[in-house]
Structure 1
């Protein structure tokens, strides 16, 4: 996160901090969760992400928290297009062999984004 904050400060940009929840409403998994689970989980994450942004980022730059539901890389790409993003900064774990075969979310974002992508190893 610090890399994204530094870039935003250096370039006078706003930072959109996004997280993507899995879609628990899919027929395969819907029956394993209470009816209102998706809404409660999303509301809880929205509150926590907003607090995180306020406490750790907002005093330094303009920060916006965004919670999406769905496929991680697809939702990141949609958001980037919606806000006319100039740069996507995302964390990624160090790749393992299976990631080269299956493709992690970061790799998919890099391949399909309409803007530059900076991947920061965590």
Structure 2
């Protein structure tokens, strides 16, 4: 069993957690903590962000926190074992940064089925986390 399991999810994409969440529960056992992580993507270019309303990223992070809390309440009866976190930036980097900050000893995350063209052009977030993590990573399909 693991003491602190980090479960990065996309709150808008149920497939990012429906199978991974039960795996995280099993890995945490009866005493481990589960840390849900939602990530707000960094807009990046100033030109793009100039078209967004003022305070967009702050509002997006607040909304993410609310959605994570809703999922935690809905999916866990033992809410004291679940903590929610909102990351910001590039997805793999945010996952690794939060894992380090909370002292996670396992990352559980969903991985989309391989698609050579998509992986070549964009790359898989799970692949990047697996290759750069200092702790075990369980990918779930």
TM-score of the aligned structures, taking structure 1 as reference length = 0.88
Q: Could you tell me which residue of structure 2 aligns to residue 116 of structure 1?
A: 136
Equivalenced residue count is 120
Runs (4+) of structure 1 moved beyond 6 Å?
A: none
Q: Could you tell me which residue of structure 2 aligns to residue 4 of structure 1?
A: 24
TM-score of the aligned structures, taking structure 2 as reference length = 0.77
For structure 2, the 5+ residue unaligned runs are 1-20
In structure 2, relative to structure 1, the CA distance for the partners of 1:105 and 1:28 (3 Å cut) is farther
Q: C-alpha offsets along residues 32-64 of structure 1, whole Å, 9 cap, x if unaligned?
A: 210121111111110111121122125276011
For structure 1, the 5+ residue unaligned runs are none
* Aligned-partner SS, 1:32: coil
Q: How does 1:9-88 map to 2 (within 5 A)?
A: 9=29, 12-24=31-43, 26-59=45-78, 62-88=81-107
